[in-house]
Chain A
Amino acid sequence: MHFVEVNSFDQWRSEARRLIVQKVAPPEIHWATASAQPSLFDAGLSAQAEALAESPPPPSSTFTVPHAFVSLAREVACHRDTVRWELLYRTLWRLLHSEYQLLKRVTDDDVHALAQMRKAVSRDVHKMKAFVRFRKVSDDREGDTYVAWHRPDHQIVRLAAPFFARRFNDMNWSILTPDESVVWEQGKLTYGPGVPASEAPHEDALEGLWRTYYASIFNPARIKDATMKREMPVRHWKTLPEASLIDDLLRRAPARVDEMIANSEGISQTAMRFMPTELSLDKLRLAAGSCQACPLHGPATQTVFGQGNPDAKLMIIGEQPGDREDIVGEPFVGPAGQVLDAALLKVGIDRKEVYLTNVVKHFKFIESEPTGGPQRGKRRLHKKPDSREIFACRPWLEAEIAAVRPDTIVCLGATPSQAIFGRDFRLTSQRGKLLTTEWCQRTLATWHPAAILRMPDETRRERMRDELTEDLRTAVQVQAG
């Protein structure tokens, strides 16, 4: 009986080489890992074995094995199970004794067992690459260093270290494990003895941010903690700064989901609920009168539906009715309407020939504080409709366009322009240009008359007024041509 003690691939290789040359069959060898609990027969033999391992094999002893076996053995040697030495030797023996194809027989018991071991080792290497967490420490003389403490399942430091060297090439770092440690400094990997966890730095200021990220990226609506534990085994949690959050995240998740489902916001319906079956302008106007799709119907006096020639070639769309329009019930009858009328007149368009409407059919306003001046009481100040209200009201506008089927659409201001052209439309850069949209072959955007009225600078105001006229002329010219 031969008693052999090894603890690394290289030692095993020289021992195995010697034993193969001496034609020692597998059952005649007792393999042991050098540092394991000594068995009854081991005592005193390790020194002898080491001495033998150091000496080069005699030249007559060369033999070849498949390349795949060497790489397999190199990895399996990192496994902790002592049986690996024996298994490797038996496989080697069989390979050299008329079973050269052995490694391809993946269902052979020995090959299968080795494959399982290799799998465990490579999984462990992968997990080490994943779970090492560096902590930054400052050393006044040498600059920043990153130190991690990790407990791998197997003796894999040397398998994993080159990866860290490639990845963290410009850093000085050390990875400490109970078996072995490795240091990367000035482009060199240096291996050293194992180090207990207590020797590693205990915190890093950045871990707070990392925990914030971890907690925020977690979606409480999808709990699969078994998957998490399978992929991130609990034994590694001690060295993962984020793991301390897990219990709390899991505990609070159901309540957070209930809250999300219970709290919705926005408007649950659109004007579609109030659509008449017949989509003529008259029927639409009648139906829109009782629209309650958004909350704006409450404070407003009445619905201000579109008005004008039902067969109009030109359709002009504004944002929403103003104070005056709300009271009268017709679009563009207030001060802004007068500006528009003047521009239409200059271009020579009869207002009766045009169809005028707004994106939102109810007046949205806030009431100003009462003033003590001649105008007593509260004033109603225009407020821009938000996207929910625009969305809710949109079916009316779409039905109007479908009923009138204009040749040209002119959008006044940003709100109708973005409703028609899309959200990324920019009035300042795309004003006055005839574009094709899904609504109309010729669509054009220009200033809203109310914006002209609000412009404090007089020259600027006049220029906008001219531009409005010019843009309307463009719209009509194309219409004629």
Chain B
Amino acid sequence: MVSERANCGPNCRLGDDVSGPRFSKFRVTPVCDLRLARPCFPTKTFPHTEPFQCTMDVRKKLAILADAAKYDASCASSGSKSTRPDSLIGSTEGMGICHSYTPDGRCVSLLKILLTNYCIYDCQYCVNRISSDTRRARFTVDEVVDLTLEFYRRNYIEGLFLSSGIIQTSDYTMEQLIAVAKKLRVEHHYGGYIHLKTIPNAADGLIDEAGRWADRLSVNIELPTEQDLVQLAPEKKKPQIEQAMQGIRGKIDEYKHEVKAGFQPPRFAPAGQSTQMIVGATKTPDVEILRTASSLYTQQRLRRVYYSAYSPIPHADARLPGQSPPLVREHRLYQADWLMRFYGFDASEIVTEADQNLSLEMDPKLAWAIANRHFFPVDINRASREELLRIPGIGVRSVDRILKLRRLQKVATSDLKKLRIAWKRAKSFIQTGDHNPGLADLDKLDLGRRIRPQTQQLLLFDAASSAFSGEV
């Protein structure tokens, strides 16, 4: 196909100028733009850390501070529906873009870094806790601004996700994060995505300002229950974390309210707020995790709760058991999360297992269907939207397509197969306009074994993409 003649449409301004290579005259700039050996001036030294290497260059800092940030699962760059006015570089158009993928199956969408990994806290699960022997570094505000812009201009990233260890005080740390965002917006007219992590206990005025420059704010709830926090992050308190979220929610509501009333207030976190929970570091069962998530969605109106399987970290604290991250569990929690948000499921009904955890063998919707067989079969041509959403293997988009289609015609088995639903899972639960032989299995005792995916390996392949697309 490469040999095809150029596709010159009516708008082509180059006309028939197909002679000679037009782009070969450029030469590559040999020098990198970033000032690679800028000294850094620590305001304070901390125990358990190497003395500052004042010659540490940006590359070394980037390696340390990206490494330190990788345990944060949040990657979304979506949610801001329009680009900020007066932007010269960068855009946000609602949908996020994943610019790359690493071999862990996670996308690279934002430049996800810490401003510094020095921290005064001692959270056991965290590689940056004060008692860790990990290498430390600190970016200057200008270095982060330069890196963001240079990466952005080359289309490597959608924007910046900036977090930080806590240095000096919460307020000081927050001010540093704000300085980066403000400089990008005001001095460089940058209109791309910015996600700032808010520091617990930072002053109200600082949160206000952070929301003004950022698209999304987040406060990490870290662990699902108060008890878990006491055990692993004794210096973080759940009421404080919730208060911070409440504060952000209040400001977001206020902003929306003013917009509705016809004013044009300065933007406040147009992409909302999110949080992250570490899963598997304590014995808390899934049902508790989902309850916490559910209350965060309803009370704090979070856009997303991220579940991050506890992953072994370098310089791990000896108090935590070394283990591989429970990836399937993480995947099941994302599926359950989607069921709560888009499928009308309640946190307490999703978990059907006796031990209060989600089934690892099958997805939560299928597990629910098998435990609630009296609900089925669902007549695809008559059932309400809510009932259709409960059928395993059929996602929200398919349900909406079915609803549109059945106004025009009777939906038959062959129609469903074309709708990209997981027919193998769905077939035993639905009554179609014609004969559906799969329905005969509904009353069989071994239904679960018949329709769940056969190997563990398959599960792992499925996990990541489904975790982020949410198709259950």
Report Cα–Cα, A105/B419, bound state, in Å: 11
Given contacts A199-B23, A386-B47, A424-B201, is CB(A224)–CB(B105) below 8 Å? yes
Residue pair B105, A225 in contact (C-beta under 8 Å): yes
Q: Specify which chain A residues have a CB less than 8 angstroms from the CB of B89 in the assembled complex.
A: 167-171
A480 at the interface (CB under 8 A from B): no
- Please encode chain B, from 56 to 82, with 1 for each CB lying within 8 Å of some chain A CB and 0 for all others: 001100111011011100000000000
Q: How far is the CB of A358 from chain B (nearest CB, A)?
A: 18
Q: Specify which chain A residues have a CB less than 8 angstroms from the CB of B404 in the assembled complex.
A: 104, 106
Residue pair A174, B6 in contact (C-beta under 8 Å): no
A250 at the interface (CB under 8 A from B): yes
Residue pair B108, A139 in contact (C-beta under 8 Å): no
- Please encode chain A, from 194 to 227, with 1 for each CB lying within 8 Å of some chain B CB and 0 for all others: 1110011111111011101111111111111111
Residue pair A191, B131 in contact (C-beta under 8 Å): no
Q: Specify which chain A residues have a CB less than 8 angstroms from the CB of B132 in the assembled complex.
A: 265-266
Q: Specify which chain A residues have a CB less than 8 angstroms from the CB of B169 in the assembled complex.
A: 424, 426
Contact with A139, one of B2, B26, B102, B460 (Cβ below 8 angstroms): B26
A-contacting residues, B8-48, CB 8 Å: 8-14, 17-18, 21-34, 47-48
Residue pair B154, A265 in contact (C-beta under 8 Å): no
Residue pair A210, B156 in contact (C-beta under 8 Å): yes
Report Cα–Cα, A130/B77, bound state, in Å: 13
Contact segment of B269-277, B308-316, B439-447: B308-316
Residue pair A106, B102 in contact (C-beta under 8 Å): no
Contact segment of B92-100, B221-229, B286-294, B352-360: B92-100
Contact segment of A176-184, A298-306, A315-323, A467-475: A176-184
Residue pair A192, B155 in contact (C-beta under 8 Å): no
Q: How far is the CB of B195 from chain A (nearest CB, A)?
A: 15
B-contacting residues, A310-353, CB 8 Å: none
Q: How far is the CB of A51 from chain B (nearest CB, A)?
A: 15
A21 at the interface (CB under 8 A from B): no
Q: Specify which chain B residues have a CB less than 8 angstroms from the CB of A426 in the assembled complex.
A: 169
Q: How far is the CB of B186 from chain A (nearest CB, A)?
A: 15
Q: How far is the CB of B335 from chain A (nearest CB, A)?
A: 15
Residue pair B14, A206 in contact (C-beta under 8 Å): no
B187 at the interface (CB under 8 A from A): no
B379 at the interface (CB under 8 A from A): no
Q: Specify which chain B residues have a CB less than 8 angstroms from the CB of A269 in the assembled complex.
A: 319
- Please encode chain A, from 157 to 171, with 1 for each CB lying within 8 Å of some chain B CB and 0 for all others: 010000100111111
A273 at the interface (CB under 8 A from B): no
A1 at the interface (CB under 8 A from B): no
Residue pair A228, B21 in contact (C-beta under 8 Å): no
Contact with B6, one of A179, A214, A226 (Cβ below 8 angstroms): A179
Q: Specify which chain A residues have a CB less than 8 angstroms from the CB of B13 in the assembled complex.
A: 190-191
B320 at the interface (CB under 8 A from A): yes
Contact with A262, one of B147, B153, B322 (Cβ below 8 angstroms): B322
Report Cα–Cα, A257/B104, bound state, in Å: 13
B151 at the interface (CB under 8 A from A): yes
Q: Specify which chain B residues have a CB less than 8 angstroms from the CB of A249 in the assembled complex.
A: 102-103
Residue pair B23, A209 in contact (C-beta under 8 Å): no
- Please encode chain A, from 100 to 116, with 1 for each CB lying within 8 Å of some chain B CB and 0 for all others: 01001111000010000
Q: Specify which chain A residues have a CB less than 8 angstroms from the CB of B349 in the assembled complex.
A: none
Residue pair B401, A213 in contact (C-beta under 8 Å): no
Closest 7 CB pairs of A and B: A224-B105, A193-B6, A227-B105, A261-B322, A137-B26, A268-B318, A216-B66
Q: B interface vs A, CB < 8 Å?
A: 1-2, 4-14, 17-18, 21-34, 47-48, 58-59, 62-64, 66-67, 69-71, 83, 87-91, 93, 97-108, 111-112, 120-122, 129-133, 147, 150-151, 153-156, 166, 169-170, 189, 192, 201, 235, 309, 311-320, 322-325, 327, 401, 404-405, 407-409, 414-415, 418-419, 460-461, 463-465
5 contacts between A and B (CB under 8 A): A35-B7, A105-B408, A210-B156, A219-B104, A387-B129
8 more A-B residue pairs beyond the given contacts A170-B88, A231-B105, A232-B100, with a C-beta to C-beta distance below 8 A: A139-B25, A209-B34, A224-B105, A224-B106, A227-B105, A250-B103, A260-B312, A263-B314
